[in-house]
Amino acid sequence: MKRTALFLAGILAISSLSGCGAKNSASDSSEPFEGKYIVTADYVKENLDDIIVVDARGEDEAKKGTVKGAVATTWQYLATCEDGEAGDANWGCILDTKRLSERLGELGLAKDKEIVLFSNAEKGWGEDGRIAWELIAAGYEDVKIVDGGIKALKAAGVETVKGAAEPKPVSVEIDSIDETHVINTDELKEIYDDCKIVDTRTDKEYNGKTMYGEANGGHLPGAIQIRYTDLFNSDSTLKSNEDLTKMFEDAGLSKEDHIITYCTGGIRSAYMQLVMEMCGFENSENYDESFYRWCVEGNLEK
């Protein structure tokens, strides 16, 4: 079976679980997270008429219940997942500007509008963060993620329906991709000894179990593990900036470090990169080829 198919099957399986890995044992944060890419569910409720809401879980999940008026898509639709198999060079990366422009236009994601994305917070993969990371790289200037995801939106009383809204196509032109927070395998090999690597996966993945069709198991040499799920409180909202900064620093990171985040396919790690950036760890990049590619190309530890 192709690794791509295994990966997609893994996504469907994991979406029914309560989380992607062990939660941090630290107590919940009392202060809300603040950052330029984050809005609250109440903000969405108050501004529905002025924003474009995107359900990053995709149309199948939206059929079970989504925000009224939200369009739905998946990160795979905006990535090179059709161009080969998981583990191939450039698989799962940002689309070329022509295809990306066409698909964003089909979805109605106008560059002059505020785009607000949501997903399943710690119970998902960080798909909203992955798409936000990509939109920012594509030149969108007003992109947000809903703190707490669909759970928070429902708790805030945002109206929900079964099924996503029909997109209203617009003209979108992406001239180039800003790679300030993007890195590929060849680039990572060149700077490996001068950066700090953060593995955002679960304990089982980090310790060598292959769960989604990876060619090999383990982690990148010297990688610091900070689970994606460690970012969240028990109510699915992000921990405070202070608590997250302390967690990053306790793990051995400083705001002066060059930090590379990765996961299996660059999704959870994209969310992590945005959170780190908002906490002041600005010299951070998401490795979107991620473990799928590295476990074929590079050395591993277990």
For residue range 250-302, what is the model confidence (pLDDT) as tens digits?
999 999 999 999 999 999 999 999 999 999 999 999 999 999 999 999 999 99
For residue range 171-205, what is the model confidence (pLDDT) as tens digits?
999 999 999 999 999 999 999 999 999 999 999 99
Q: Is the pLDDT of residue 19 over 80?
A: no
Produce one character per residue of 232-271: b if its CB has 16 or more CB atoms within 10 Å, e if not: bbeebbbbbbebbbebbeeeebeeebebbbbbbbbbbbbb
Share of the chain above pLDDT 90, in %: 90
What per-residue confidence (pLDDT) applies to 42? 98
What per-residue confidence (pLDDT) applies to 27? 75
For residue range 86-119, what is the model confidence (pLDDT) as tens digits?
999 999 999 999 999 999 999 999 999 999 999 9
Categorize the per-residue pLDDT at 12 as very low, low, confident or very high, splitting at 50, 70 and 90.
very low
CA 47 to chain centre: 24
What per-residue confidence (pLDDT) applies to 21? 39
Contact indicator for 144, 114 with CB cutoff of 8 Å: yes
Residue 283, burial from CB neighbour count under 10 angstroms (0-12, 13-18, 19+): middle
What per-residue confidence (pLDDT) applies to 157? 98
Please state the pTM of the whole predicted model: 0.92
Residue 196 β-bridge partners: 259
Categorize the per-residue pLDDT at 29 as very low, low, confident or very high, splitting at 50, 70 and 90.
confident
Per the prediction, the chain carries an average pLDDT of: 92
What per-residue confidence (pLDDT) applies to 59? 98
Residue 183 β-bridge partners: 287
pLDDT, average across residues 38-45:
98
**Low-confidence winner among 20-29, 59-68, 229-238, 287-296 (lowest mean pLDDT):** 20-29
Produce one character per residue of 159-191: b if its CB has 16 or more CB atoms within 10 Å, e if not: eeeeebbebeebebebeebeeebbbbbeebeee
What per-residue confidence (pLDDT) applies to 26? 54
